[in-house]
Structure 1
Amino acid sequence: MKNEFKTGIFFTAIAQYSTVIVQLIINMILSRLLTPGEIGMVTIVQVIIFFFQLLAGSAIGPAIIQNKNLNEKDYGIIFNYSVIFGIFLVLAFGFGGGIILSTIYSNPIYIPLCWAMTPIIMMSSMVQVPNGILGKEKRFKEISIRLLLSGILGAIFGITAAFLHAGVYAMVLVYVVTDLTSFLLTFKIVKIDYTRSLNFKPVREILPFVKHQTGFSVINYFYRNLDNLLVGKFLGTTLLGNYSKGYQLLSFPITIFLNVINPVMQPILAEHEKNVVLIRDTYLKVCRLLAIVAIPVSIFFSLNAGPIIYLLFGKQWSMAILPLSILSLSICPQMLSQSMSAIWQSRNLTKIQSVSGFISLGIISLCIFIGILGGNLTSVSIAVSGSYFLNFIVSGSLLMRRALDSNFFQLFKVIIKPLFLGIILSVIVILTNPYISFSNLFITLLLRGIVWLIIVALFLVVTGEFKKIKEMVKK
């Protein structure tokens, strides 16, 4: 298992880090060529697209990984159903999505925008079975190459379109070309045993897992995107563009680490479904590592939000500074909460995971509504950030008790020292930042980053955490 983890994380890390760099470059360029209002409009369509992608079968891949009884012919039959369902979803989104959004937000542009993004739904549906096969066979190298190449091509086409004054459609092109490239590469490296059969037996085999996992994903979708929908409706697309830009920045560190660990954890831990001790120990070690990374990163982002926004996106995004500063504080609880999904899946407890999702939906939705009542981005950001802390406590308690035969205190113990590091770091950064401020934003962030890194390194060495991390990675 150790070698599989190392191999999986190595190739996944290369692809993820490269992809994040590509995405950051795209954002830096498009943020200077498009207005906050235009980006806000595409954000709204993206939110709906994500929902249809979930319905298109995002749980099929994990279900194939978890199931030990499927054969090559079964994969072909499940693929047939994914194609049929994908066509249905494309028509539903194309005809219904644009009309509904144009009515809600009083702008007819949503009709052509929705049709332009329908290929994403079809490709998402058709690629689920190959994704499951790749994960089950632990072909992390192929998965990583596909991710990297598709991201680069999407960036090239999108940025070119932006310079040719394509407006909002430049962002659409980024997503469509990225998914199309990934789609083509997937069917190049995965061979499916195609069949005309529509025998429902293979579908029935994975249906319980898919049903509960999809239910959780839909619930997760709503509480992770409700803020965007409500900000766009009640505060306008310009404020939504600024809010989403701040949120997008803090999502980079979350993506960098979780998208490296989560895709590797479930395929490997699924083989040890009944070994609760092994899965619990592995999860706690992962949480310890995530907390040591996430808490210092959240402090740096929060206390340097202004220079980061201005350097990356320009002066027109000044309203994104405060949301980034507040939302960044939730990086750690978000990381730890999102890593739980792989554990629920590897323990084959997606039914209980759905219950956890409903609880999270209630907590986060209530907080978002309270934030919207405040009528500004500050109140929304505070409410959203606070909701993730509360949700982590509740979800973590349920996971530890029902899936890992333990309690929340065991989970909290592994993040005590990282929390102490966060307190020390906050005090020092607040005291030193006024003296490390120059007209050149890059120099400012570079020197502040060096100070931040020295403090983190000293803490890890003095407390012995560095040695423990080194031993943990080895094992």
Structure 2
Amino acid sequence: MVKSDFKTGLIFSAFGKYSTFFINILINSVLSRILTPEDYGIVTIVQIFLLFFDMLADMGFGPAVIQNRTLDDDDIGVIFKFSILVSIVLGLIFAALGQPVNLFYGEDVFVPIFIILGFEIFFYGLLIVPRAILLKKKNFKSVNVVEVVANIAYGAVAIALALNNFNYYSIIFARVIKILVMFIFFYTRTKINYKTKFRKEPIIKIWAFARNQFLFNFINYFSRNLDNILIGRYINPTALAFYNKSYQTSIYPNQLLTGILAPVIQPIMSEYEDRKHIIKDVYLRSVRLLGDIGIPLSVFCYFVGKDIILFVYGNQWTESVLVFQILAISIWAQMIAASTGAFYQSANRTDLLLISGIQSTILNVVAIIYGVYLGTIEAVAIMVVLSFTTNFVINNYLLMYKAFDSDYKGVIAALSKPVILGLIQVAIFVFMPDWTDNHFLNLLIKGPLFVIGIFVGLVVTNQLKEIISIVRD
């Protein structure tokens, strides 16, 4: 049953994530050649605040609705009504923040932007509960199809407006359209009874779980976004655009792989909350799978970073190359760490998830502040990599020792073969020159060599037959 649910979930999740990935790559490639780094600097500053308010609108209710097995239709209706009130308040507050942000960053462009995106906050808050219901029912097909459609709508609007000289507003308006499309679909598919009488009991049912999840998200927000806040304020918005472009590119593997696993893990594994050994076994399998791809990919992106950045975004993004190469070193750790939250949730240990978030934030804040103090985006990238690596070690200690009552041997064993795959990639690329000045041709040459290296590594480590067997099952 677990294998069947996982296979179904992964198929639709893969469809959604891979489609969204390639759509977003295409959109970013086009927009990066139309809009300037200065435009992206403004957008990145806005996204800092947008992510924070999206997190507030979520409140941890999405995972809590998925995890709780006692909620009935009336309970869901009450929780949805509560989310409406929260969304209205947050949307109005966000709309009023434009002038304070102007003062903080010394700009005069943010007032109309924040008013427009107040609608995005409102509709995002409304889609949390309907989306969680669809995931709880394991309706992965509907969730992923609508996310693909919404991203296509986003791209069409953004590119059309950019071509008509809307500058950074092209992305702002497109975000509102994307969230509106998602809300309309999710809501119409779930038929929530919003007319039910408001009661506090349904909120209490999910509050303990949601509280820890929300506090983790709250803390993790500052851990993940302090670099953007400080670079934009103390270096400059254009440098922020170069840094953010590198950072976003470095997390694409998360969106491709961990982004497929994470939405599927909790809805399925939450049924095994009382059998931690099953959850642990699935986690260690995911560590090896993500390591098999993530460690070689980190090596590849480090050596081929220049070709990746300049081919995808264009020559005006040269200053992003070195930052991306530095961040690439931590791709494998980010991929594995990004999946751990769903396993904490499945084991009903959001208390440990919160502890993990607190220690992660402390390390990241110290690292980022020191990097900004050094005064370059490259220094910030180095400190972020050091922090991510340290957090990976601590996070797995909490998960293995505290959540699963186990030890580190399983993680070390799971990573041993992926490390061999990474060393094979080093042997391939360490002495390889650029064949031409054409970045696309370089990628055409080096990409197949990367795939061949993966294949050889799987054969050498005796994993190829096992992977084929898993796929067939």
Q: Which amino acid aligns with 1:51?
A: F
Task: Give distance in 2, aligned partners of 1:451 and 1:258.
Answer: 24
The residue correspondences of 1:423-438 to structure 2 (distance < 5 A) are: 423-432=423-432, 434=433, 436-438=434-436
Is the counterpart of residue 327 in structure 1 residue 321 in structure 2?
no
Uncovered stretches (5+) of structure 1, i.e. residues with no partner = none
> What residue is the counterpart of 1:52 in the other structure?
53
Q: Which residue of structure 1 lines up, in the alignment, with residue 76 of structure 2?
A: 75
Aligned-pair distance for 1:405? 1.3
Q: For residues 402-426 of structure 1, what are the alpha-carbon distances to aligned partners after superposition, in whole Å with 9 as ceiling and x for unaligned?
A: 1111122321221122122212312
- Paired AA for residue 220 in structure 2: N
Which residue identity is paired with 1:371?
G
Aligned-residue offset at 1:473: 4.3
Contact 2:421 2:457 in 1 (8 A): yes
Q: Is the 8 A contact 1:56 1:89 kept in 2?
A: yes
In structure 2, what is the equivalent of residue 39 of structure 1? Answer: 40
Residue 470 in 1 paired to residue 445 in 2? no
AA partner of residue 271 (structure 1): E
Distance 2:86 2:173 in 1: 24
Residue 202 of structure 2 aligns with an amino acid whose one-letter code is P
Q: Tell me the equivalent position of 2:276.
A: 276
What secondary structure sits across from 2:396 in the alignment? helix
1:352-391 matches, cutoff 5 A: 352-391=352-391
1:23 is the counterpart of 2:41: no
Deviation at 1:295, TM superposition (A): 1.1
- 1:7 to partner: Cα distance: 0.4
In structure 1, give the amino acid aligned to 2:60: A
Matches within 5 A, 1:282-431: 282-431=282-431
- Once the two structures are superposed, the pairs formed by residues 158-173 of structure 1 within 5 Å of their partners are 158-173=158-173
Could you tell me which amino acid in structure 2 is paired with residue 126 of structure 1? L
Partner residue of 1:181?
181
CA distance in 2: counterparts of 1:162 and 1:312, whole angstroms? 18
Secondary structure at 1:167 match in 2:
coil
Could you tell me whether the CA contact under 8 Å between 2:134 and 2:140 is conserved in 1?
A: yes
> 2:200 maps to which residue?
200
Shift of 1:173: 2.2
> Per-residue deviation at 1:312?
1.2
CA distance in 2, matches of 1:118, 1:273: 38
Name the residue aligned to 1:190.
190
Q: Is the 8 A contact 1:61 1:135 kept in 2?
A: no
Cα distance in 2 for residues equivalent to 1:177 and 1:437 = 43
The 2-side partners of 1:472 and 1:348 are apart by: 28
TM-score where L is the length of structure 2: 0.98
**Secondary structure of 1:356 counterpart:** helix
C-alpha deviation, 1:440, in angstroms: 2.4
After TM superposition, give the deviation of residue 177 of structure 1 in Å.
Answer: 1.4
Deviations 1:41-92 (A, max 9, x none): 1111111111111111251111111111110011111111100011111111
- Distance between the aligned counterparts of 1:473 and 1:62, measured in 2? 28
For the residues of structure 1 that align with 2:48 and 2:32, how far apart are their CA atoms? 19
Q: In the TM superposition, what is the alpha-carbon distance from 1:442 to its structure 2 partner?
A: 1.2
Distance in 1 between residues matched to 2:35 and 2:23, nearest whole Å: 18
CA contact (8 A) 1:285 1:472 kept: no
Measured after TM superposition, the shift of residue 471 of structure 1 is 3.2
Partners of 2:121 and 2:287 lie apart in 1 by 33
1:196: how far off? 4.8
Q: Residues 147-158 of structure 1: matches in 2 within 5 Å?
A: 147-158=147-158
Aligned to 1:91: 92
Where do 1:82-121 residues align within 5 Å? 82-95=83-96, 97-121=97-121
Question: What is the DSSP-based 3-state SS (H/G/I as helix, E as strand, rest coil) of the residue aligned with 2:329?
Answer: helix
Is the Cα–Cα contact under 8 Å of residues 424 and 457 in structure 2 kept in the other structure?
no
- Is the 8 Å Cα contact of residues 246 and 324 (structure 1) preserved in structure 2? yes
3-state SS of paired residue (2:138) = coil
Question: Which whole-Å CA distance do the structure 1 matches of 2:366 and 2:469 have between them?
Answer: 42
The letter for the 2-side match of 1:11 is F
CA distance in 2, matches of 1:196, 1:83: 13
CA RMSD, Structure 1 to Structure 2 (Å): 1.2
Residue 442 (str. 1) matches residue 443 (str. 2): no
**Partner residue of 2:4?**
3
Secondary structure, counterpart of 1:431 in structure 2 = coil
Deviations 1:365-418 (A, max 9, x none): 111111111111111110111110110001111111111111223212211221
